[in-house]
């Protein structure tokens, strides 16, 4: 996770980073050992760069933040949750293309 536009979300900063966010949030539930998670990471980095100020992209390491993983019933990763006004508005599970993710974000605008 080398991109500074991507926020690390944890059990302790979830309220501040996601619920209180003034822009829609794309939250990636992932783990370091997950192959598809590594494959989707560059796509999320691109979206974070292109949508600075319009969308917040965050990542939750499910191994380190099991509270959030269980709160949102994450059973397989990557799972991407789309938040608007602090509420889950959409969700995708598995490796998805950039166009599909951008279209889901556009629907939140």
Catalytic positions are 34, 37
Backbone angles phi, psi at 74, to 5 degrees: -80, 115
Token couple for 93: 């599970």
- Interatomic CA distance for residues 9 and 27, integer angstroms: 8
Using alpha carbons, list the distances in angstroms from residue 29 to 6, 55, 69: 13, 17, 7
The DSSP code for 18 is: I
Q: Quick one: angle between helices 98-108 and 35-50, nearest 10?
A: 50
């Amino acid at each position: 996770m080398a991109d500074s536009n991507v926020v690390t979300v944890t059990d302790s900063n979830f309220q501040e980073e996601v619920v209180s966010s003034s822009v829609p949030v794309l939250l990636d539930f992932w783990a370091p050992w997950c192959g598809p998670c590594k494959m989707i990471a560059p796509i999320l980095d691109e979206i974070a760069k292109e949508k600075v100020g319009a969308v917040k992209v965050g990542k939750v390491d499910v191994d380190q933040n099991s509270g959030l993983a269980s709160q949102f019933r994450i059973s397989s990763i990557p799972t991407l949750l789309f938040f608007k006004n602090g509420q889950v508005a959409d969700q995708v599970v598995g490796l998805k293309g950039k166009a599909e993710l951008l279209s889901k974000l556009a629907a939140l605008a």
